[in-house]
Amino acid sequence: MATSIVEKFHSMEYGPAPEDPGEVNKWLDAHQRTFGHYINGAWTAVGSSKFETRNPATGEVLARVAQADAADIDRAVKAARAALPGWQALTGHQRARYLYAFARQVQKWSRRLAVLESLDNGKSIRESRDIDIPLVARHFYYHAGWAQLLGDLTPTGFDGEEFRGYTPVGVVGQIIPWNFPLLMFAWKVAPALAAGNTVVIKPAEFTPLTAIAMAEIAAEVGLPKGVLNVVNGAGETGAALVEHPDIDKIAFTGSTEVGRIIRKATAKTPKKLSLELGGKSPFIVFDDADLDSAVEGLVDGIWFNQGQVCCAGSRLLVQERVAERLYDKIRARMETLRVGSPLDKAIDIGAIVDQVQYDRITKLVAMGIAEGATCWQPEIPMPKNGLFLKPTLLTDVHPSSTVAQQEIFGPVLASMTFRTPAEAVELANNTPYGLAACVWSENINVALDVAAQVKAGVVWINSTNLFDAACGFGGYRESGYGREGGKEGMYEYLVPAWTKNAQKAEVVTQAATDSPKADGNGSGPGIDRTVKQYIGGKQARPDSGYSFPVYNREGKLVGEAPLGNRKDIRNAVEAARPAGNKWAKTAAHTRAQVLYYIAENLIQRREEIVRKLSEFVGEAQAQVEFDSSVDRAFTYAAWCDKFEGSVHNPPFRMVTLAMKEAIGTVAILAPDDAPLLGLLSLVLPAVAMGNSVVAVPSERCATLIGDLYQVFDTSDLPGGVVNLVAGRPMELGKTLAEHDDVDAVWSFRDEAAAAMVKLGSTGNLKQVWTNEGRAIDWFHPKQSQGLWYLQHATQIKNIWVPYGE
């Protein structure tokens, strides 16, 4: 160790630079290091049920915190419900001022909050001070802006220029993890309050203190009581919040496993749900990348926050030719990383949050080694006590090994090589997750091409782990759904105002399918030919060999429809998947042309379709329904090349391209009322946005698909983009909801169907969108077409592109 100044100057060794925790200790002592819940603007007394929160760097108990039970949750939810009318009666400007005041207080208390966060979580003060806290303030400022622009709430929704016609979802339950306690608090609370909701939030058991400090700030800024409630506790407290019947929305960030539990727990309720879950994000380095920059990117990608980051670049994919060179550089850089006290301003890696997480990481590394990986760790000084782990590089990792597939959530980089860009994309997508990705290449064409192909909600080009309130964040696939931040994040806390007063949808249960007939030609007098399923652009006999009779509204037989089963669904999904991949890449102009042809060909067959539709809904409705269907086809043809992404200007030398991408294969359960218009109102926006569809039409009017496939066949719609499978919607819907190759499921039938698809969706956590059993006026464009539909037919990928030298 260098002793003189001159020696130190030459060695550039760091001395300790500890941040003073005195202010935070004073604050903790002032509260006797004991905290209750913040409910209805007041602190609850701390009873016998409490837990300890510790400093993971030292093991010292920082405070004792009350553990909420179901009764506490109930009090908090009641307070939030009671506060709702008053909060919503404020003007947008008044709500904006509260959010603005939050931002100002966060800045005022920034050092105290940063130190408290580092003490409770173990993250380095450099990160909490320079990254977390500024982002927290930015989130409140940004959302103060949305509150202002939303304007005032009227019975028909907000009256501002933005989000007109939308209304707050209501009382929101929020559950956040321990890795970014304060940042996640801001990501959840700021948009929810800006959108006129009231909140009950549960921080993680390991890290409750900064949420408690934020509750104090709520009191300081005079936030009306009950608007924000903070309840503490572990998983059971979270579960009680999820299950409370008077919650309108749950917003969750955490593990995919708990995300699944929450999806199941809310399935039978109309609770809106957003899930920000785990990841195994690829960090792709091409041979033309600036390798030194890529190494610095990796430091931020996997050693930031001790690797306890949902979007950590935990899978290094490096082009074979430069792999050894890059590994050498990484190892050299790892030798300079400093692990130590989180309060030391000169350290890079702090403490792991808890012994449980520490053990989990070490166990996974041991598994990786047992499965053939080579483990390398630098020879660097390590603290003697506390939960500190060395930065770790695993090479020779097999793509299927545990450390390549499972989220380690620690300072561990698992590395693999690739040869071609196509192989890089294949490896990158070889995971059930889809949260983030980094692409390093000096060739912008290659980088953007790969960014477009990677299935991830965020892609950083030649950069990593950048966040901004204006740029939405969230996952594809099993990394969850919904976005946080940006305009899209606001929609998570809003619903179209008309849905609040909608009636229950009526579903006609068709007894006919209970008595299937052998699939014949249906050629009795006055009976149309038996229609077939429509799969892969071809008419297909049902696998069951059965059809079912379809009757008109007088009970007279009008035809026979195929009785679909699991195999028909499997075939339809198999056809839809590749067709959708191509269709998503088809130019928007071409997709529009196809939709116009569909309209044209519908018109050509007007007389016949109206005649058949009249059998089910009567002549008057059939005329209107048909004409509205044509109108709808024109509408979505128009939207094809207009529902576009946007470009954000985050406060760095970056542009962020918010691209609207197709979701993939969308399963649709169509409504019974307005059998033609209802079906097309769902199929057309999905197709317009580049998805492929497997749709189950209304059972009682299932013969209509015979007319539709003739229209599709003559409209240049590529085979497999729309597949129609008739049968029992509940049965076929279950198969679709459980199918791992379906990316989203939409149910527009009754409450039972909505619950069924939500339950079925948990396997691959596919996106679910339902009417919650509410009736939709398919003849009223405000309810049945437009942005609401287009938003659900797309997911936003934010691609961050740097500029400048």
* Residues in touch with ligand NDP (CB under 6 A): 175-179, 202, 204-205, 234-235, 238-239, 242, 253-255, 258, 261-262, 277-278, 310, 357, 360, 407, 409
Q: Is 800 helix (H, G, I), strand (E, B) or coil?
A: strand
Name the DSSP letter for residue 132. I
Instruction: Considering the complex, state which of residue 184 and residue 609 has its C-beta at the smaller distance from ligand NDP.
Output: 184
- Exposed (0-12), middle (13-18) or buried (19+): which is 638, by Cβ within 10 Å? middle
Instruction: Considering the complex, state which of residue 208 and residue 549 has its C-beta at the smaller distance from ligand NDP.
Output: 208
* Segment 447-450 long-range contacts (CB within 8 Å, at least 24 positions apart): 447/286, 447/801, 448/799, 448/801, 449/421, 450/284, 450/421, 450/424, 450/425
φ/ψ of 228, rounded to 5, equals: -130, 125
Residue for token digits 């545990």? Answer: 402
Please check whether residue 478 is in contact with residue 433, taking contact to mean a CB–CB distance below 8 angstroms.
yes
Q: Is 395 helix (H, G, I), strand (E, B) or coil?
A: strand
Catalytic (active site) residue 310: yes
Minimum CB–partner distance for residue 269 and ligand NDP (Å): 14
* Phi-psi group of 85: left, alpha or beta (phi > 0 → left; psi -120 to 50 → alpha; rest → beta): alpha
Q: Residue 566 corresponds to which tokens in the numbers above?
A: 């699991």
Instruction: Considering the complex, state which of residue 177 and residue 549 has its C-beta at the smaller distance from ligand NDP.
Output: 177
Minimum CB–partner distance for residue 189 and ligand NDP (Å): 14
Q: Residue 274 corresponds to which tokens in the numbers above?
A: 């957003």
Q: Residue 55 corresponds to which tokens in the numbers above?
A: 């400093």
Instruction: Considering the complex, state which of residue 200 and residue 724 has its C-beta at the smaller distance from ligand NDP.
Output: 200
Reduce the secondary structure of 505-570 to three states and give it as a string. Answer: CCCCCCHHHHCCEECCCCCCCCCCCCCCEEECCEEECCCCCEEEEEECCCCCEEEEEECCCHHHHH
Instruction: Considering the complex, state which of residue 23 and residue 69 has its C-beta at the smaller distance from ligand NDP.
Output: 69
- Tell which residue, 387, 403, 385, 383, has the closest CA to residue 395: 403
The one catalytic residue in 276, 407, 478, 772 is: 276
The one catalytic residue in 19, 117, 310, 640 is: 310
Instruction: Considering the complex, state which of residue 407 and residue 661 has its C-beta at the smaller distance from ligand NDP.
Output: 407
- Tell which residue, 768, 643, 794, has the closest CA to residue 269: 768
Instruction: Considering the complex, state which of residue 75 and residue 280 has its C-beta at the smaller distance from ligand NDP.
Output: 280
In angstroms, the CA 283 to CA 298 distance is 8
- Tell which residue, 180, 794, 194, 141, has the closest CA to residue 470: 141
Residue 704 half-sphere exposure, CB side, CA atoms within 13 Å?
A: 31
Q: Residue 421 corresponds to which tokens in the numbers above?
A: 């860009």
Minimum CB–partner distance for residue 362 and ligand NDP (Å): 12
Instruction: Considering the complex, state which of residue 177 and residue 301 has its C-beta at the smaller distance from ligand NDP.
Output: 177
**DSSP letters for 43-98:** EPPP-S-EEEEE-TTT--EEEEEEPP-HHHHHHHHHHHHHHHHHHHHS-HHHHHHH
Q: Residue 631 corresponds to which tokens in the numbers above?
A: 């109108």
Measured from each CB, the residue nearest to ligand NDP is 238
CA dist list (Å): 348 to 14, 352, 394, 445 = 12, 13, 20, 34
Q: Residue 6 corresponds to which tokens in the numbers above?
A: 């001159």
Instruction: Considering the complex, state which of residue 250 and residue 572 has its C-beta at the smaller distance from ligand NDP.
Output: 250
Catalytic (active site) residue 625: no
In angstroms, the CA 645 to CA 617 distance is 39
Minimum CB–partner distance for residue 263 and ligand NDP (Å): 11
Distance from the first to the final alpha carbon of the chain: 37
Instruction: Considering the complex, state which of residue 151 and residue 254 has its C-beta at the smaller distance from ligand NDP.
Output: 254
Q: Is 598 helix (H, G, I), strand (E, B) or coil?
A: helix
In angstroms, the CA 604 to CA 593 distance is 16
Q: Residue 527 corresponds to which tokens in the numbers above?
A: 């009976």
Q: Is 439 helix (H, G, I), strand (E, B) or coil?
A: strand
Instruction: Considering the complex, state which of residue 188 and residue 660 has its C-beta at the smaller distance from ligand NDP.
Output: 188
In angstroms, the CA 167 to CA 72 distance is 28
Instruction: Considering the complex, state which of residue 252 and residue 388 has its C-beta at the smaller distance from ligand NDP.
Output: 252
Strands 654-662 and 665-669: unpaired
Minimum CB–partner distance for residue 408 and ligand NDP (Å): 7
- Tell which residue, 289, 314, 541, 496, has the closest CA to residue 410: 314
In angstroms, the CA 214 to CA 135 distance is 15
Please check whether residue 227 is in contact with residue 207, taking contact to mean a CB–CB distance below 8 angstroms.
no
H runs (alpha helix) in 109-255: 110-121, 125-127, 133-150, 181-194, 209-220, 235-243
In angstroms, the CA 14 to CA 19 distance is 15
Residue for token digits 């909600």? Answer: 457
Instruction: Considering the complex, state which of residue 106 and residue 436 has its C-beta at the smaller distance from ligand NDP.
Output: 436
Which are the catalytic amino acids? 276, 310
